[in-house]
Structure 1
Amino acid sequence: MLSLKTASLWPLPARLACATLAGALVAALLHAAWLDGMMAAVQAAQGEEGRLRAEYLSAQARASLLPQWRAQQRRAGAELALLEQQLPDQQAMAVLLTDINAAGQSRGLQFSLFKPGAARPQAPYVALPIAIQLRGGYHAMGALLADLACLPRIVTVHELALTLGKDRLLTLDAVLQAYRLPDAAERAAQAALSPKTGTPAAAPAWRPLAAVAPHPYAAAALADPFDALPAAGAPGQRGSVAGPDPRRVREPLESVALPAISMVGSVQKEGRLSALLLAGQRVYRVAVGQYLGPDHGVVTDISEQALQYKELLPDAGGGWRERHGSLSLQKPGDARASAPEATP
């Protein structure tokens, strides 16, 4: 019987057979280890193949949508161009400010304050804040805000506040924001301040603009919410008269100081005499009962030689007092004449 302890004494055939068997076992173990590695590599390759196939199918699906994406790109470009048309350049901003001022005066409102502030670059546009203070009726202010929404340029309203004064007139304080495109220097400054990164930022998803059409002011028939408050200058106090109607829509000549108005003629139609008043470069036709001047001046009488009016002024006691005056016919070469006379 062969023993491993005496393996060196085994016959040569036996030793060769044992060596062959040991080599076969080692080869089998090495082959099994190699097969395990190959199976892991095959599984990894199969996983990579599945991932690449999924990416290919996804890219193929995206490629099929390329015509739709190009159409969206064209629509987005058209909408961007439309929005940029609502942003004036620096030269057109002065026209926009004039339009805002004219919109307030057309509603009979008085601008107590109209102060553009410093431009605020906010890429990709520049915001221009405008502090305003208006005096007038509630519905006239609502109509003005509707007019601002209908302007061809973008104007937004911020920090809006309404207060009722002793003269029964509303005061509106607000900050308007007008927007314009930056000029070359401002674009360079914005590019210098923007963060620089190694990879470009991802483009935001494009969504079509919602169609928003500005609506005209349609609340004029509703009650003025400030009309329920008690009047500051009620009749009955000594030396006081009834205050002005805060709901009245102010007329164009109420935004012009009386010294800047002159009577240049008169015209009679259907037995009624109307005065021709020059304010700036425009001639107005005014009848009895119409208003002029910033102090609620109402025309009381018109003759061929003069126009009589009365104004309402706040007194020290919180009420109102009347002041009468006249505008005489201005002849060629005469100075403009406005002669207010305080009523005792």
Structure 2
Amino acid sequence: MFDLERMAFLDALKPILPWPMWLKAAVVAGTAVLVLVLYWLFGWMPIQDEIAQQEARVQQEEIRYRKNLRLAKDLPKKRQEYNKLKKQLAIALAMLPKKSQIPDLLEQVSFVGKEAGLEFAEFKPMGERPQKIYAEVPVSLKMSGTFRQLMLFLKKVGELPRIVNVRGLAIEKRENALQIAGEAVTYRFLEAKQKPKRPRRGRRR
């Protein structure tokens, strides 16, 4: 069998046996180069591409692992910050009156004003002004008195257990008293169903 294969190989070489030696060498070299090129294109390069893809995946997984590890280390700190903010929010909400408490709060504002010696010409509750998560509850104020009485009124309002902000004061001196106009504003937290809805944008045509 070996002899038959050898004879078949020699028969295949018969066409090139008469060729000059340099031509035979060129054919052998060209064949070798062709084999190397084909191996490079269809063997070596796909393997290298696959290796590069796997290395990129490994790097991505390593980055993700380090990120998750860092987040895990920061978790106790973040949880502590969250609990702190939650307590602060609870304190802030406790200082905002509920809707049912607003009339009593406004009555307290009127009382401390009179207690300070101010005379009210107008103490008029106005409509609520909804914001994102809270609503302003303003009261229009017109009163008269001395500067000391006004300062005492502002001090007592600041000492109320609920948040009341006196703002927009316009002061005019008339005869022996100051004429004071402005508004007292308290706030209440809006439940989710009470929050103002954002207007929908019209569809583009």
Whether the 8 Å CA contact 1:89–1:182 is kept in 2: the answer is no
Structure with the largest fraction of helix: 2
Q: Which runs of 5+ in 1 are unaligned?
A: 1-7, 196-344
Distance in 2, Cα, partners of 1:194 & 1:54: 42
Secondary structure class of the residue paired with 1:151? coil
Query: How many Å apart are 1:35 and its aligned residue?
Result: 3.5
**Larger relative contact order (Cα-Cα within 8 Å, sequence gap ≥ 6):** 2
Q: Percent identity?
A: 21
Q: Which runs of 5+ in 2 are unaligned?
A: 1-13, 201-205
Instruction: Report 1:144-183 matches (<5 A).
Output: 144-165=153-174, 167-182=175-190
Go from structure 1 to structure 2 and tell me whether the alpha carbon gap of 1:89 and 1:189 turns closer, same or farther (over 3 Å shift). Answer: closer
Distance in 2, Cα, partners of 1:191 & 1:38: 60
Whether the 8 Å CA contact 2:118–2:149 is kept in 1: the answer is yes
Go from structure 1 to structure 2 and tell me whether the alpha carbon gap of 1:37 and 1:59 turns closer, same or farther (over 3 Å shift). Answer: same
Structure with the largest fraction of strand: 1
Is 1:115 equivalent to 2:124 in the alignment? yes
Is 1:31 equivalent to 2:39 in the alignment? yes
> Who is 1:190 aligned against?
195
Distance in 2, Cα, partners of 1:162 & 1:152: 27
Pick from 56, 65, 68 the counterpart of residue 74 of structure 2: 65
- Write the deviation string for residues 2-32 of structure 1: whole angstroms up to 9, x where unpaired: xxxxxx9633898987665434212211333
Aligned-residue RMSD, C-alpha: 2.9
> Who is 2:108 aligned against?
99
> Who is 1:11 aligned against?
17
Go from structure 1 to structure 2 and tell me whether the alpha carbon gap of 1:191 and 1:145 turns closer, same or farther (over 3 Å shift). Answer: closer
Runs of 4+ residues over 6 Å off in structure 1: 12-18
Distance in 2, Cα, partners of 1:86 & 1:27: 85
Query: How many Å apart are 1:115 and its aligned residue?
Result: 1.1
Instruction: Report 1:43-58 matches (<5 A).
Output: 43-58=52-67
Go from structure 1 to structure 2 and tell me whether the alpha carbon gap of 1:189 and 1:12 turns closer, same or farther (over 3 Å shift). Answer: farther
Whether the 8 Å CA contact 2:131–2:196 is kept in 1: the answer is no
TM-score, L = length of structure 2: 0.76
> Who is 1:22 aligned against?
30
Distance in 2, Cα, partners of 1:159 & 1:38: 76
Instruction: Report 1:282-321 matches (<5 A).
Output: none
